[in-house]
Amino acid sequence: MGGGLDLILLALLAGFIILRLVSVLGRRTGNERRQENPAGLERAPTPGDAKPVDLPGRDRAPPAAQPGATASFDRDTPLGKSLSRIMMADHSFDPDGFLEGARGAYEMITPAFAEGDRETLRSLLSPDVMRDFDSAIAEREAAGHTMQTKIVDVLQNEITDARLENGTAEVTVTFKVELISVERDGEGRIISGNPSDTETVTDVWTFARQVKARDPNWLLVATDSND
């Protein structure tokens, strides 16, 4: 009799514990709202978005090539000879990996400039380029204007020039990109661009790095446009 009573008490205790767990942890019904954070021009950047970009760093395997990336080169051409010299001076340098890192830098720098994110820009730009970018951002801020830029697609990115001089490697990448860029005044009225239309731009960016430096990061040292 005592054993049967003990079993009944244990069953009641187990039921009580299960009810407590359900009340604390909740119950999934399949109708919960999913948290959405769609990408687009209205997305506000968060501090955690900013990360240094190496192109690529030492002891890192180069990422797989993306469509539109062109790093193959003829070693007998002036460009090929320059890239070969950089590879001999810095055994971590890989043209394919560099191109992917350059693309990552482009995809960080372009919206950072539009948003006036100086912290991100300082980690990726040389002091001279940072001064130019900062001046343009300050001028926009003084006018009360805002800008938003969304990269839709990188159609092409290829190495178009390279050189090694006094221990500094410089590699130039030409980007052909589809993007949406809109500038608004202080009242939110559109000054330039169209949030519904893409435009194709061609940018020529040069990155540099001391080949013997411990820091694996390349910095953007010059920008130009073919448009």
Instruction: Flag whether pLDDT at 10 surpasses 50.
Output: no
Of residues 83 and 225, which shows the higher confidence score?
A: 83
Write down all domains in the chain, each with its CATH number in brackets: 52-57+67-225 (3.10.450.240)
Q: What percent of the chain stands above pLDDT 70?
A: 67
Q: Which helix (H) or strand (E) holds 113?
A: helix 95-115
d(CA 102, CA 30) in angstroms, rounded, equals: 42
Checking if the pLDDT of 65 tops 70, the result is: no
Distance, in Å, from the CA atom of 152 to the CA atom of 154, rounded to the nearest integer, reads: 7
**Is the distance from CB of 172 to CB of 206 less than 8 angstroms?**
yes
- The DSSP H or E segment spanning 153 is strand 146-165
For 178-217, the pLDDT digits (tens) are 999 999 999 999 999 999 999 999 999 999 999 999 988 9
What pLDDT does 70 receive?
55
Q: What is the DSSP string of 88-107?
A: HH-TT--HHHHHHHHHHHHH
| pLDDT digit string, tens, across residues 12-44 | 444 444 444 333 333 333 333 333 333 333 333
Q: What value does the mean pLDDT of the chain take?
A: 78
pLDDT at 48: 38
> Who's near 178: CB < 8 A, 6+ residues apart?
151, 152, 153, 155, 198, 199, 200
Q: Give the model confidence (pLDDT) of 128-186 as tens digits.
A: 999 999 999 999 999 999 999 999 999 999 999 999 999 999 999 999 999 999 999 99
SS3 199: strand
What is the value of pTM for the model shown?
Answer: 0.69
The helix/strand/coil state of 211 is: coil
Q: What pLDDT score does 31 carry?
A: 35
Beta-carbon contacts of 40 under 8 Å, excluding residues fewer than 6 positions away, are 150
pLDDT in tens, 75-128: 889 999 999 999 999 999 999 999 999 999 999 999 999 999 999 999 999 999
Mean pLDDT of 49-59: 43
Residue 72: its pLDDT value, please? 62
What's at 166, amino acid-wise?
Answer: N
Closest by Cα among 57, 65, 66, 69 to 93: 57
Task: Decide if 170 contacts 162 (C-beta within 8 A).
Answer: yes
What pLDDT is attached to residue 226?
A: 75
